[in-house]
Chains A and B, each alone.
Chain A
Amino acid sequence: MFDNLSDKLNSAFKKLKGRGTLTEKNIEEGLKQVRMALLEADVNYRVAKKVISDIKERALGQEVMDSLTPGQQVIKIVFDEFTRMMGDSHKGLNLEGRKPAAVMLVGLQGSGKTTTAGKLGLYLRKKGKKPFLVPVDVYRPAAIDQLKKIGKQLDLPVFPSTTDMEPLAICEQAVAMGREKGYDTLILDTAGRLHVDEALMAELQGIRKGVHPSEILLVADAMTGQDAVNIAGSFDETVGLDGIVLTKMDGDARGGAALSIKAVTGKPLKFIGMGEKSTDLEPFHPERMASRILGMGDTLSFIEKAQEAVDIKGAEALEKKLRKNQFTLEDFRDQMASVKKMGSIKDLIGMLPGVNTKQLKDMNIDEREFVRIEAIINSMTPDERRNHGIIKSSRKKRIAKGSGVTVQDVNKLLKSYTQTMKMVKKFNKGGMRSLKNMLPF
C-alpha cells in the first residue's frame, strides 16, 4: 500500500516546517501513517497498538533536530524503538551444558525446519563443531529421507531414524550414538505441528525432558501474518523457547512477524534464512529488520556496503560538490564505476531512506547500461561533462556517433542525470547532515 513510509510521513508533516516541537496534535497524523505501515507489514494488531502508544510517549515534546525534518525525526524515533525491541545484538548459539549438546528445531508445518537443520549443521561445522543431524519427523511422508539427503549433500552424519520409531526414542538413541561417535552437537529436526495440537505439543515436552536441549529454536516463516503471536506464544508456553530463526527472508515479505514474535516471547531472534542453499543462513540484525518492517529500505546494509567501496577522502570531496550542487557528469561516471563494485545499483539506491521506490522504477536503471553510459560520457568533451547545459542537438549527434548509440540514448542519460540532480537537491534542502553518512558519494 505504501511504497515508502518516509514519503508518507514527510507529507503528513508538511505543515510542520523547519524547527518545531512534536506535539500530540501534530504527531497524530504521522503516527496514523506509522500504524498503517506496521499493520501492512503484518505486525500484530495489538503489538502495533502498544508500539504506537510507546512511541507517542517518547516523541511528545521532543524538539525536531536541525538536521532532520519532522517526518525523519519520527522515523528515527520509531526506528530506534524497533531496534531496541528486537534488540540484543547477535549472540549465536549457547551450547554449554551436557555433551553432546542438542539444538532442537520446532515450528509449524512448512516453516523451513529441515532446510534450517542442514544450514545449522554447516554453520556449526564451520565453527569447529561436530554436528549430528537427527530426523525426528516420523509423520510427514519422506521427511526422514529429506534430511538424510541433505546430510549426504553436505557430508554430515545423520542418525538412521525410521518411521516406526518413537520420536523420543530417536532423540535418546541419537544422544547415545553421538556420545559414542564423538559428535558434540545434535540437531533435532522435529515434525511440523500446529500449536493447538495438544498431543504433538506434549511430544515436544517429552523430548525436552528426555534430552534437555541446550537450544530450542522456533523456526518461523517471515511471511507469517497476524497469527504469529498465537503460534510463538503457544510454542514458548508449552515447550519453552531459547530463540527464533526467521526463514524465507530472501522473499519480499516485510516481516512484521519478527516484531510480533519478539514482543510476545521476549526471546532473541538469532538467525535468518536467506535462501534454499545450505549456506544461506545469516545472523539476525535488529536494525536491518527495523528498516525492512518500516519499508525504509535497508539503510544499514547500504551504509556498510558503501563504506566498503568508497574511499573516505574521495567521499568528502564529493560531498562538498553535492552540497554545492556541483555534481557533474564526470562525477556521475566515476561514481557509477565505484557503485558498480558494490553490487546492484537499484538495490543500493533502494536502500536509501527518502528514495521513493516509484521514482526509482521510472529511473529504469539497467546494469547493462552502465557500459553504454560510460561510453557516452567518455565521448563528451570535458566542457560538456562539466556543464551539461551546453549539450544541444548537434553535440548530441556527435556524442551519439562517437559512442555508437542513438541520440535517444544520449537524451535518456541526460534525463536520468538531471533526475538524480533533482533528487540530490531535494536532499540538500532536507538537511544534508542527516544524509551525509548514507550517500555513497
Chain B
Amino acid sequence: MGIFNSLKKGLTKTREILLTDINDLFSPERAIDDDLLEELEEILVMSDLGMDITMEIMEKISKKAKKLKTADELKSILKEELKSLFPQTTSTETETASPVPRVIMVVGVNGTGKTTTLGKLAVKLTGQGQKVLIAAADTFRAAAVEQLQIWANRAQVKMVKHREGADPAAVAFDAVEASMARGIDTLLIDTAGRLHTQKNLMEELKKIKRSVGKRLPGAPHEVLMVLDATTGQNALSQAKLFNDAVGITALALTKLDGTAKGGVVASVAKTMDVPLKYIGVGEGMEDLQDFDATLFVNALFD
C-alpha cells in the first residue's frame, strides 16, 4: 500500500466522524460565505495545525476569497498555503555528500515511536544495500534493548549494546568506534524516551551527542526527532527544547495510520526550519515512507 492509500485509509474514518464532509465543503457549487469559512477553520484546528497557523491561513484565505466565486477554487489556494509551510528539502543533497559512517541519532519523548522508526529505517537502508549498525543507547527503559534487538534481527544488522543501566554515552561512543572499524555506512543510535522538561535527562542526551562527536568529529550527522501524530500543540515545546539541547536536523512523524492528522508538525517544521523526512504509517517493517508535502496535504483535503 502506497503512502497515499495508507494515509487515506485512516482519513476516511475521520471523514466519517466529521459531520462535514470535506468534499461537500469544497463542492463546486458552494458559495464562499461565513459558514464556509468557519467550517474551514474547524478543519484546520481539528488537524492540530494550531491557532497561529490557522489564523494566519484564515486571514490570507478570507482576503483572497473575496475575489473567488466558489469553494472549489478556494481549495487549491488552501493547499498551496499549507504546502508552503514545509521547508523545501533538497533530497539529492543527502545522497551526494554522505560521510562514512553516517551517524543518525534518534530522539524524542516517551512512546512516540523512536525504536520502531529506527528499526524501519534500518530495514530500508539495508534494502538499499547499505551496511547498517544499531546502537542500543536506551539503557534505561525496561526491555528497551530486547525490543531493539528484535528490530536488528528483522533488518539483519548487528547491534552494539552494554548491560542495562549502563552509560548511554559510552554505548554510543563504542558504536561509533565499531562503525569506523567495520566500514559501516550508517549507524543508527536509539535513545531513551524523555520528556523535554526533564533537565537532567536532556543533559544526558547532550552528553551522548558530545561523546559521538568526540570519537568522530562532525558526528552525529543527523539528529532525527520522532513526533507522534496524535500529539497536539505540545509538540512545539518538545521540538524547541530538544532543539535547544541537541540541535534537531530532521523530523519523523509516526502513527499517521490512525485518525490524527499531525498538523502541528507543520508549525514545528516552519518555526524551526527543519525538514520532515519520514512518516510512519503502521507497525510493520515497510511502514515508513518518505515525506511528500503534496501527498500529505492532499491526504488532508481530498
Contacts and interface: CB of A to CB of B under 8 A. Distances in A.
Interface in B86-134: 109-113
A6 interface: no
Given A39-B51, A110-B111, A251-B197, A194 B257 contact: yes
A225 B231 contact: yes
A196 interface: yes
A146 B48 contact: no
B111 A1 contact: no
Interface string B186-213: 0000000001111000000000000000
A252 B234 contact: yes
Contact of B234 (A45, A145, A230, A251): A251
Contact of A196 (B110, B196, B259): B259
Interface stretch (A7-15, A58-66, A134-142, A413-421): A134-142
Interface stretch (A80-88, A238-246, A253-261): A253-261
Given A149-B142, A224-B231, A227-B260, A250 B151 contact: no
B14 interface: yes
B179 interface: no
Contact of B230 (A146, A149, A224): A224
Nearest to A276: B110
B230 A231 contact: yes
Contacts of B45: 39, 45, 226
Contacts of A46: 42
Given A42-B233, A221-B230, A226 B47 contact: yes
A337 B50 CA distance: 42
A435 B71 CA distance: 51
B136 to A, nearest CB: 12
Nearest to A43: B232
Given A110-B113, A256-B232, A248 B42 contact: no
Nearest to B115: A141
A260 to B, nearest CB: 10
B109 A251 contact: yes
Contact of A36 (B51, B143, B195, B238): B51
Contacts of A196: 10, 13, 258-259
Contacts of B238: 223
A393 interface: no
Contacts of B258: 108, 194-196, 227, 231
Interface string A25-41: 00000000000100111
Contact of B110 (A112, A141, A143): A112
Contacts of B113: 109-110
A233 B14 CA distance: 12
A143 to B, nearest CB: 8
B255 interface: yes
A153 interface: yes
Contacts of A145: 142-143, 146-147
B290 interface: no
A110 B226 CA distance: 12
Nearest to B113: A110
A252 B233 contact: no
B283 interface: yes
A174 interface: no
A87 to B, nearest CB: 23
CB-CB nearest 4 A-B residue pairs:
A225-B232, A110-B111, A42-B232, A141-B150
Given A1-B51, A39-B51, 10 more contacts: A42-B233, A141-B147, A145-B147, A146-B142, A194-B257, A226-B232, A248-B110, A251-B197, A253-B234, A276-B141
